[in-house]
């Protein structure tokens, strides 16, 4: 029996992943609060472009006021792909239309599984990390991928149960996601989550504060070194929280800590890896928080760098660069200052 899949949030990640799943023949419905986006998909289909080629797909699409139509044919799998600050209402909306054994999958930045579980219960929650997928919903009905696929050399999707066991439903989700890019089941959801948060924290806030794209942030020594400091701080906080961290951009977590502390050999190796990673980037690549500033949207900074700073304070491991960058991005978000590389020079 074909599983019914919905994406609550059909922007960059939700639109791209859901679109490619639909292209593979899966039963996908995209749901989003952006009216023009849904109308464009209904009228012309969803345009997928970028590093995996150009495709037009025709998934089902619903405005928020149309979600109630799902009562006629409830949902097996609901991917929540909204911004972190929209997690609760999106989960509460779709929870009414889940089948008895339906599942909600957090395919988001930050760590939102606990908040989802508060609405549907832990038994219906699965986590999924999309690591360095690089996508942008830059106009209604069109989503573009700006990073080269991970393929066999880099696993993009990691699906995990909160309890850490491998289950048939987790494997089924990984198989579905493999129609988009490389995917596997992880027994270390929380370590994977913090590792992804570390990566997000190294680029999102800098892009939002400076206006720089991913290539420029990596090329420039000032922002590259700040990114390394942010990575080292986040690793230290995650370790203090008891997480078993995975590699960060192909490097062991402790190497980021050492590089951030000024270890010359570690710093040289980390910088070399970062510069080599530019091969997967395109000129269009920009972290989601940087995209939000350009679009005049609220950012997730409180759920990325802000979360690292807050958790660090809880466990007595300061994360001053994350705290300072969070405040700068909030100022840019409010319009108190314009994005500019000078905004991060003193951090």
User: Of 95, 123, 328, 310, nearest to 209 (Cα)?
Assistant: 328
| H-helix or E-strand spanning residue 94 | helix 87-95
**Domains detected in the chain:** 4-187 (3.40.50.720), 192-344 (1.10.1040.10)
Burial level of 152, CB count in 10 A (0-12/13-18/19+)? exposed
Q: CA neighbours within 13 Å on the CB side: how many for 27?
A: 11
pLDDT of residue 2: 87
Question: What pLDDT digit, counting tens, does each position of 37-49 carry?
Answer: 999 999 999 999 9
What is the side-by-side order of every strand in the sheet holding 142-145?
55-57, 46-50, 142-145, 135-139
pLDDT of residue 277: 83
pLDDT of residue 132: 87
Question: What pLDDT digit, counting tens, does each position of 2-19 carry?
Answer: 899 999 999 999 999 999
* Residue 289 near residue 275, CB atoms below 8 Å: no
Instruction: Round to whole Å and give the CA distance between 10 and 142.
Output: 11
Average pLDDT over residues 330-345: 97
Query: Using CA of residue 204, residue 205, residue 206, residue 212, what is the dihedral sign?
Result: positive
Question: What pLDDT digit, counting tens, does each position of 108-152 carry?
Answer: 999 999 999 999 999 999 999 999 899 999 899 999 999 899 988
pLDDT of residue 280: 80
* Residue 40 near residue 19, CB atoms below 8 Å: no
Instruction: Round to whole Å and give the CA distance between 228 and 322.
Output: 12
pLDDT of residue 23: 98
Question: What pLDDT digit, counting tens, does each position of 182-225 carry?
Answer: 999 999 999 999 999 999 999 999 999 999 999 999 999 999 99
pLDDT class for 226, splitting at 50, 70, 90?
very high
Instruction: Round to whole Å and give the CA distance between 167 and 103.
Output: 13
Q: What is the mean pLDDT of the chain?
A: 96
pLDDT of residue 194: 98
Question: What pLDDT digit, counting tens, does each position of 278-336 carry?
Answer: 888 777 789 999 999 999 999 999 999 999 999 999 999 999 999 999 999 999 999 99
Q: Which residues of 120-144 are buried (b: 16+ CB within 10 A; e: fewer)?
A: beeebbbbbbbbbbbbbbbebbbbb
Question: What pLDDT digit, counting tens, does each position of 58-112 carry?
Answer: 999 999 999 999 999 999 999 999 999 999 999 999 999 999 999 999 999 999 9
DSSP 147-173: B---GGGS--EEEE-TT----HHHHHH
pLDDT of residue 278: 83
Residue that wins the pLDDT comparison between 249 and 160: 160
pLDDT of residue 190: 98
pLDDT of residue 1: 63
Q: CA neighbours within 13 Å on the CB side: how many for 137?
A: 26
């Amino acid at each position: 029996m074909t599983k019914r899949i919905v994406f609550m949030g059909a922007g960059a990640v939700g639109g791209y992943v859901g679109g490619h799943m639909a292209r593979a023949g899966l039963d996908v419905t995209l749901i989003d609060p952006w009216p023009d986006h849904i109308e464009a998909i209904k009228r012309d289909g969803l345009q997928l472009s970028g590093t995996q080629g150009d495709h037009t797909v025709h998934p089902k699409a619903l405005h928020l006021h149309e979600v109630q139509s799902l009562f006629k044919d409830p949902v097996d799998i609901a991917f929540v792909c909204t911004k972190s600050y929209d997690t609760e209402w999106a989960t509460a909306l779709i929870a009414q239309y889940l089948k008895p054994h339906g599942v909600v999958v957090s395919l988001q930045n930050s760590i939102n599984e606990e908040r989802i579980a508060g609405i549907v219960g832990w038994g219906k929650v699965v986590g999924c990390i999309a690591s360095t997928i690089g996508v942008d919903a830059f106009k209604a009905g069109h989503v573009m991928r700006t990073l080269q696929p991970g393929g066999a050399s880099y696993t993009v999707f990691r699906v995990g149960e909160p309890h850490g066991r491998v289950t048939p439903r987790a494997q089924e989700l990984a198989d579905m996601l493999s129609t988009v890019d490389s995917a596997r089941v992880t027994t270390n959801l929380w370590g994977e989550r913090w590792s992804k948060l570390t990566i997000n924290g190294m680029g999102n806030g800098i892009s939002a504060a400076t206006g720089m794209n991913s290539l420029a942030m990596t090329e420039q020594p000032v922002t590259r070194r700040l990114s390394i400091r942010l990575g080292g701080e986040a690793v230290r906080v995650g370790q203090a929280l008891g997480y078993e961290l995975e590699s960060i951009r192909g490097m062991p977590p402790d190497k980021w800590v050492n590089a951030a502390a000024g270890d010359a050999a570690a710093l040289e190796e980390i910088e070399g890896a970062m510069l080599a990673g530019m091969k997967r980037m395109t000129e269009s690549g920009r972290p989601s928080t940087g995209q939000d500033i350009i679009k005049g949207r609220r950012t997730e900074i409180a759920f990325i760098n802000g979360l690292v700073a807050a958790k660090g304070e809880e466990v007595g491991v300061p994360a001053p660069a994350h705290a300072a960058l969070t405040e700068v991005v909030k100022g840019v978000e409010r319009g108190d200052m314009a994005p500019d590389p000078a905004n991060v020079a003193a951090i």
